[in-house]
Amino acid sequence: MRVLVIEDDQETAAFLKRALKESGHVAEYAADGQAGLDLARTSAYDVLIVDRMLPKCDGLSVIKALRTEEIRTPALILSALGEVDDRVKGLRAGGDDYLTKPYAFSELLARIEALARRTSPEEGSTRFVVGDLVLDRLSHKVTRAGEAIVLQPREFRLLEYLMKHAGQVVTRTMLLENVWDYHFDPQTNVIDVHISRLRSKIDKSFGNPLLHTVRGAGYTIRDSAH
Amino acid sequence: MTALTKLFRTTTFRLSLTYLALFSAAAVVAVFYIYWNTTVLLSRQLNQTIDAELKGLAEQYRAGGLDQLVRIVAERSQTPGNSLYLVADKEGKQLAGNLSAVSPQLWDSLGPVEFVYSRPALGGVERRLAFANVFRLPGGYRLIVGRDIEDRRELARLIRTTMLWGLGVMALVGIGGGYWVSRRILTRIDGLSATTRTIMAGDLTGRLPLSGSGDELDRLSESLNLMLARIEQLMAGLREVSDNIAHDLKTPLNRLRNRVEEALREPYDETAYRETLERTIEEADGLIKTFNALLSIARLEAGAGGENRGKLDMAALVRDVAELYEPVAEERGIALRSEVPEPIVIHGDRQLLGQAIANLIDNALKYGAPSGEGGNGWAPEVEVRAQASGGVAQIVVSDRGPGVPAPERARVLGRFVRLEASRSEPGSGLGLSLVAAVARLHGGSLRLEDNEPGLRVVLALPMEGDALVNGVVTEPPAGADLRPT
């Protein structure tokens, strides 16, 4: 995956470049808004990581400019401003996701991988399959090894989101934001409990567990038998 | 600027002058009108009486000729009064009457005329104004009938003088009054600005003086005092926060630093290093959370945020959040019941209200378990209710825990305040402060009540969209207080 990091802090940029490389991605970086805009215009990237406050041309203007030129590369906005209002402004400017500083790298990685996947054809498919687990988005039915599993509406949406991002790491915050549409910290690890409930329904009576915990990051659903 | 120019520049003084000018103009017009009318009326009366007298004399003349006229005139001239008569031959020689020397001008004129005549008076002759009608008789004779109008002229002069004096006095009183009123108001305004300056200089306890008359300046001062109270409250909050930050943020920072320092000093193996680093990250995450919560509260209390308000169904939101916590409650062996009968539509920020409800439920689950030896005889239970009545939406979260003693309810409102009993549970002591801030931003309030036993927290929000006040003071009602999270 080719990532463009537009970030004015040298150290942060260097850290991101290194960490992205270790995760198997190629990262390039621009130190100000104008340079970032030029790079994003001329070469193809899978994801942009844009700091909100940049010299010369701020992050939101960079994204706005790209969107008016019909360049739709998914963009993640990084910002020290963490209020819901700021997030809404960021998304209105054409950003696809918003992450508040300070952040965990695992969170950033999970989010850009999810963003890059958004452009893939799986997005619109009506059936998700992971191993012998099948989720039908039209009939709202879930089966594992042909056996029907009854899920609550919220559990269904949780599983749907996980399966849409099958093989990728999904963080707790991403789940809270995308499944519940809550952009605040619920204090207790409520997501973990929801996951363990879901797990008991889809994994418990089957030999091969599909829903895995990724330590320090979140969860992923994948068929580890293959 | 001298005190006097300052005074002249006051609005009151300028208004006084304007009123004075307008009033004077009106007075001049009125007096002039009266004067003019009076003069006209008097002249007409004079003309009429003179005409009538002339007519009478003419009849006498027709009846008895010149002799009878002379006789009658001589007779009438004897009666004292203002009447003036003269009958003279063509040389101007007086035949009868009390008017002696007559100017040739008068002599040659015909009809009504005004003239000056001389009259013997004490110590000489005085010249007086008269009005007369000159009538020519056959044979060059003249009959003059007139009235002394010197008194009338005197009256007119008197009216004029009175009018001038009146206007003068009025102007003096007007200017003086304006000066006095302006001075009075200026003194009060000066008092207000002096107080404002001391307050600006840093003494936030200062309040504007009230005269007690309840006038517009008093009302303005009252509003400003309310504003000052709010500012003082905010400043106190700010000070309190900085104190709290010093304590509650520096302590974990210090812990974090000690741990890293120790790891550097001691010869650790890789696993130990790893563990230290992981715990450091955990501690940092905790700090970030606390920091975020503090910033949110500060922003909300400053009236910022909540720009994404819209119509939302409070009941659905309560149900939704309760559902989010339901598995946690089950895991902790607490029955979480939500009673949300019908939709309650309010105007609010879904994220902020969601967070507020989440904090309340989270609190109840953390601290609401029956405590003491074998509990207090109640089953662990948390109830969430949403109800609407009288334009107010209420979200009530009640538990069967130890509750908060009434005297403590006032204290736990503050940031970072945690009751001793809850120290063992993780939390920052900011949860309820945030709920209170969200409530205030939505023009609502937060109340703590006794659930007998347990704690009942009531979040009340106005249902009308226009009742929402952005950042306006709603004093926390007495006893309304918050428990730490």
> For residue B231, what pLDDT is reported?
85
Mean pLDDT of B112-139: 81
On the 0-12 / 13-18 / 19+ scale of CB atoms within 10 A, A115 is buried
> For residue B479, what pLDDT is reported?
40
Q: Would the CB atoms of B359 and A183 count as touching at under 8 Å?
A: no
* Residue whose tokens read 């009486």: B49
The per-residue pLDDT for range B305-360, each reduced to its tens digit, is: 667 788 889 999 999 999 999 999 998 888 898 888 888 889 888 889 999 999 99
- CA-to-CA distance for B366 and B382, rounded, in angstroms? 10
> For residue B82, what pLDDT is reported?
81
* Element containing residue B64 per DSSP (H, E): helix B11-78
> For residue B467, what pLDDT is reported?
41
Which one-letter amino acid corresponds to residue A87? R
> For residue A211, what pLDDT is reported?
94
Chain A residues with CB inside 8 Å of B284's CB? 102
A142, A135 in Cβ contact below 8 A?
Answer: yes
Q: Would the CB atoms of A102 and B288 count as touching at under 8 Å?
A: yes
- CA-closest candidate to residue A113, choices A65, A176, A46: A46
Does residue B476 register a pLDDT over 50? no
CATH architecture observed for domain B306-467 = 2-Layer Sandwich (3.30)
Chain A residues with CB inside 8 Å of B323's CB? 154
- Whether omega for the bond prior to residue B453 falls within 30 degrees of 0, making it cis, is yes
- CA-closest candidate to residue B401, choices B362, B364, B428, B430: B364
**Is CATH 3.90.1410.10 the right assignment for the domain spanning A2-118?**
no
Q: Would the CB atoms of A154 and B323 count as touching at under 8 Å?
A: yes
Q: What confidence category does residue B375 fall into, taking pLDDT thresholds of 50, 70 and 90? A: low
> For residue B474, what pLDDT is reported?
40
Identify the three-state secondary structure at position B40: helix
The per-residue pLDDT for range B399-421, each reduced to its tens digit, is: 888 777 777 776 776 666 666 55
- CA-closest candidate to residue A84, choices B352, B197, B396, B465: B352
- CA-to-CA distance for B71 and B262, rounded, in angstroms? 147
> For residue B101, what pLDDT is reported?
66
Identify the three-state secondary structure at position A197: helix
Chain B residues with CB inside 8 Å of A85's CB? 305-308
- CA-to-CA distance for B315 and B6, rounded, in angstroms? 61
- The interface predicted TM-score (ipTM) is 0.86
Mean pLDDT of B195-214: 82
- CA-closest candidate to residue B173, choices B327, B310, B19: B19
Mean pLDDT of B95-116: 77
Same fold, A2-118 and A122-221: no
Does residue B481 register a pLDDT over 50? no
* Interface mutation vs chain B, best among A79, A83, A195, most B CBs within 10 Å: A83
Identify the three-state secondary structure at position B126: strand
> For residue B478, what pLDDT is reported?
39
- Provide the shortest C-alpha distance from residue A39 to chain B (in Å): 33
Q: Would the CB atoms of B327 and A190 count as touching at under 8 Å?
A: yes
CA of residue B32 relative to chain centroid, distance: 42
Q: CATH number of the domain at B11-156, please? A: 3.30.450
- CA-to-CA distance for A83 and B441, rounded, in angstroms? 15
> For residue A199, what pLDDT is reported?
93
Which one-letter amino acid corresponds to residue B297? I
Does residue B469 register a pLDDT over 50? no
Q: Which residue has the higher pLDDT, A163 or B120?
A: A163
Residue ranges in chain A whose pLDDT is less than 50: none
Enumerate chain B positions whose Cβ falls within 8 A of a Cβ in A: 278, 281, 284-285, 288-289, 292-293, 295-296, 299, 305-308, 320, 323-325, 327-328, 331, 349-352, 354-355, 358-359, 362, 365-366, 427, 431, 485
- CA-to-CA distance for B19 and B12, rounded, in angstroms? 10
- CA-to-CA distance for B252 and B170, rounded, in angstroms? 79
In sign, the C-alpha dihedral spanning B378, B379, B383, B389 is negative
Does residue B14 register a pLDDT over 50? yes
- Provide the shortest C-alpha distance from residue A182 to chain B (in Å): 6
The per-residue pLDDT for range B15-69, each reduced to its tens digit, is: 888 888 888 888 888 888 888 888 888 888 888 888 888 888 888 888 888 888 8
The per-residue pLDDT for range B145-192, each reduced to its tens digit, is: 888 888 888 888 888 888 889 888 888 888 888 888 888 888 888 888
- CA-to-CA distance for B476 and A11, rounded, in angstroms? 46
Chain A residues with CB inside 8 Å of B362's CB? 186-188
B446, B397 in Cβ contact below 8 A?
Answer: no
Q: How, if at all, do strands A127-130 and A133-136 pair?
A: antiparallel
* Residue whose tokens read 């008197």: B158
Chain A residues with CB inside 8 Å of B438's CB? none
Mean pLDDT of B199-205: 81
The whole-model pTM stands at: 0.65
The 3-class SS string of B199-218 reads HHCCCCCCCCCCCCCCCHHH
Chain A residues with CB inside 8 Å of B328's CB? 188, 190, 193
CATH architecture observed for domain A122-221 = Orthogonal Bundle (1.10)
Segments making up each domain of chain B, as ranges: 11-156, 204-302, 306-467
Arithmetic mean of pLDDT over chain B: 81
Interface size A-B, in CB pairs within 8 Å, comes to 67
B361, B321 in Cβ contact below 8 A?
Answer: yes
> For residue A21, what pLDDT is reported?
94
Long-range contacts of residues B205-211, Cβ cutoff 8 Å, at least 24 apart: B205/B232
Which of B288, B327, B358 is facing A184, going by the closest CB pair? B358
Segments making up each domain of chain A, as ranges: 2-118, 122-221
Does residue B472 register a pLDDT over 50? no
* Element containing residue A214 per DSSP (H, E): strand A211-214
> For residue A26, what pLDDT is reported?
92
* Residue whose tokens read 């120790």: B262
Alpha-carbon radius of gyration of chain A:
19
Which of B292, B306, B354 is facing A182, going by the closest CB pair? B354
Does residue B369 register a pLDDT over 80? no
- Whether omega for the bond prior to residue B405 falls within 30 degrees of 0, making it cis, is no
Mean pLDDT of B110-121: 79
Torsion of CA A10, A16, A22, A23, to 10 degrees: -160
Does residue B234 register a pLDDT over 90? no
